Amino acid sequence: MLSALLFAALCLPAEKPTPKVYVVLWFDTEDYVLPASDDAALWVADFLTKQKIRGTFKVVGEKARTLAARKRQDVIAALKQHEIGYHSDFHSVHPTPAMYLSNLDWDEGVEEFERREGQGWRDVERIFGQKPTCYGQPGSSWGPQSYGALARWNMIYLDSGSHVSLDGKPCYFAGVLNLYRLTHTIRADLNKPDELEKAFDRFSAARKELLAEGGGIVSIVYHPCEWVHRKFWDGVNFVKGTNPPREKWVLPPQKTAEETGLSKRIFADYIAYMQRFKDVEFITASQAAKLYADRSRNHKFTLADLRAVAARVGDGVTYQAHNGFTLSAAETFGLLNRLMAVPPEKAKAGQGPLPFSPLGPTSRLAMMSEAVTCDASQFTRTVQDVEAYIARHRRLPGTIWLGSVGVTPEAYLRTLAKVVLERLDGREIPANLTFQPTTLAAEKYVSADDPKLWGWVIFPPGFRAPAMMDLARRQAWTIKPALLQP
Ligand SMILES: [Zn+2]
């Protein structure tokens, strides 16, 4: 009998892994004004612990220090059962991140983000005894330079907003996993019991869609203070750019005990609805980072891979998705330039992964309105120069120098890819090379400066950040889909 069963099992076709819906449940834990919000955080954390669910609590630095100062060891201990993320040092005290980053270049912006947010990040780790795994900005106060600091701090981006979006799916941006504008970002309104059924339906529809795609992420965000307040703590203090001193901060209006009880019931019902599906799994930010780990980081690129990568480059530079790995445009650039920089006989062995994922250009781009030419000797020297630039600056140059003539990295990549194909076919570098003005198609995944980006009520009216969004759009060189591990 046993052997018959074993035989039957051996004859079954290899089982496909069942797709799953991963729910990232995250809480912006930020209200350091209203003491009742501490109790709300305690309730949420304890409730989830009882349900055997680990949430991700993105804690504001001042909130962590306030919990310690109020001697709320009970709240700290309850939150420690979950994963801790970071949500800026002071959240809404002006200037907020988008404002202080808006006029800075990349490197100064990364340093400034570390200068202003580093203390809170260290305090959150000290008070909770765990390294924050993710960051998300206060309100819509987003800036691309924060990604430079997050790469150093080894954190992922977890929030919702419109600044960067790759078809509503998890993506990499500036080398950081970005769970940002996800299609399936769903909440149940904690104040409207009549709309709970609609939230169930939205979740159910999202689940069906994700399962059909082979699995994916649902992102659900709340703020613990929502259980106890009628208005956000910062709206009553820092609205439209106002910045009163601490002694003038006022408490937001609070819900009644019945209203808080209702919000608790709605949340409990919403969680219970999701829990009844066997294919739904609650995960934290760091679990998402593992599920969406970048497979190109340890991929061995065969000659067939490299040929396929080079063949896909044309006008409209963008990311590439291949079987089992994805490459940002900057990574394609790095791989192909390295291939040209090594002697032809060495190139035949294929290529290991890049030592790091280069940033896009952070300097001003070369002006280029017509085609430029150079000879093979100049091209060969430029390839070596570009290789040294990337190794030194860990990013692409904004201007590629063909001797005294500068071309854009887009134009250079397009020609580089053609030359790589010639080399892989065993041919010499052509005697004369042409560089055509070329567009960065991936730019469409990063928003242009738009008043809608800056609609957060805390911003001073009329706030705009054209230079910063221009800097962000150059980092579209780094965007690529994050693939779910098989
Ligand atoms: Zn917030």
Quick one: pLDDT at residue 364? 83
CA of 121 to the centre of ligand 1 (A): 15
pLDDT at 15: 61
CA of 189 to the centre of ligand 1 (A): 17
Residue 240: phi and psi, rounded to 5, are 50, 40
H-type helices in 140-194, by residue range? 145-153
CA of 97 to the centre of ligand 1 (A): 12
Q: Could you tell me the distance, in angstroms and rounded to a whole number, from the CA of residue 87 to the centre of ligand 1?
A: 7
pLDDT at 2 over 50: no
Q: How far is the CA of 2 from the centre of ligand 1 (A)?
A: 58
173-228 residue pLDDT tens:
999 999 999 999 999 999 999 999 999 999 999 999 999 999 999 999 999 999 99
Instruction: Please give the Cα distance from 409 to 393 (Å, whole number).
Output: 15
Kindly indicate the confidence band of residue 344, based on its pLDDT and cuts at 50, 70 and 90: confident
Q: In the predicted model, is pLDDT for residue 419 greater than 50?
A: yes
* Overall number of domains in the chain: 2
118 with 190, same domain: the answer is yes
Q: What is the pLDDT of residue 214?
A: 95
Q: Is 416 contained in some domain?
A: yes
Residue with tokens 């990311």: 319
The percentage of the chain sitting over the pLDDT mark of 70, rounded to a whole number, equals 97
425 and 375, same domain (yes or no):
yes
Which pLDDT value is given to residue 7?
47
Cα of 223 from ligand 1 centre, angstroms: 8
Whole-model pTM: value is: 0.95
55 inside domain:
yes
CA of 85 to the centre of ligand 1 (A): 12
pLDDT tens digits, one per residue of 39-91:
999 999 999 999 999 999 999 999 999 999 999 999 999 999 999 999 999 99
Query: How many A from CA of 276 to the centre of ligand 1?
Result: 30
- State whether 102 and 157 are in the same domain: yes
Ligand 1 centroid distance, CA of 22 (Å) = 23
d(C-alpha 418, C-alpha 314), whole Å: 9
Minimal CA–CA distance to 145: which of 117, 94, 104? 104
Rounded to a whole number of angstroms, the CA Rg of the chain reads 25
> In terms of domains, do 274 and 170 share one?
yes
Specify whether 309 is located in the same domain as 206.
no
- As a whole number of angstroms, the distance between CA 148 and CA 43 comes to 35
Q: How far is the CA of 25 from the centre of ligand 1 (A)?
A: 15
User: pLDDT band at 9, cuts 50/70/90?
Assistant: very low
Ligand 1 centre from 234 Cα, in Å?
Answer: 9
Structural domain ending residue among the three candidates 291, 306, 321: 291
Per-residue pLDDT tens over the stretch 135-158: 999 999 999 999 999 999 999 999
pLDDT at 411 over 60: yes
How far away, in angstroms, is 37 Cα from ligand 1 center? 13
Question: Ligand 1 centroid to 137 CA: how many Å?
Answer: 7
**Residue 455 counted as domain residue:** no
The CA 136 to ligand 1 mean position distance, Å, reads 8
- Helix (H/G/I), strand (E/B), else coil: 94: coil
| C-alpha 1 to ligand 1 mean position (Å) | 61
3-state secondary structure of 327: strand
Among 237, 268, 291, give the residue marking a domain's end: 291
Q: Is residue 14 part of a domain?
A: no
Residue 37 belongs to a domain: yes
Task: Please give the pLDDT value at position 80.
Answer: 98
Structural domain harbouring 227: 21-291
237 shares its domain with 359:
no
- Domain end: 256, 291, 326, which one? 291
> What band does 388 get if pLDDT is binned at 50, 70 and 90?
very high
Cα separation, 410 vs 367, in Å, equals 12
CATH code of the domain covering residue 280: 3.20.20.370
- Is the pLDDT at 343 greater than 90, yes or no? no
Q: Do 379 and 412 share a structural domain?
A: yes
| 453 occurs within a structural domain | no
Q: What is the pLDDT of residue 12?
A: 52
Please answer whether residues 80 and 54 qualify as being in contact, where contact means their C-beta atoms are separated by less than 8 angstroms: no
**Pair 327, 271 in one domain:** no
Residues 313 and 195 in one domain: no
Ligand 1 centre to CA of 362 (Å) is: 28
Q: Do 339 and 286 belong together in one domain?
A: no
Matching residue, tokens 């795609």: 213
Helix (H, G, I), strand (E, B) or coil at 485: coil
Residue 8 has pLDDT above 70, yes or no: no
Whether 6 is in a domain gets the answer no
Are 274 and 301 within one domain?
no
pLDDT by residue (tens digit) across 242-300? 999 999 999 999 999 999 999 999 999 999 999 999 999 999 999 999 999 999 999 99
**322 and 181 in a common domain:** no
Q: How far is the CA of 445 from the centre of ligand 1 (A)?
A: 24
How many Å lie between the centroid of ligand 1 and the Cα of residue 361? 30
Q: Is residue 471 part of a domain?
A: no
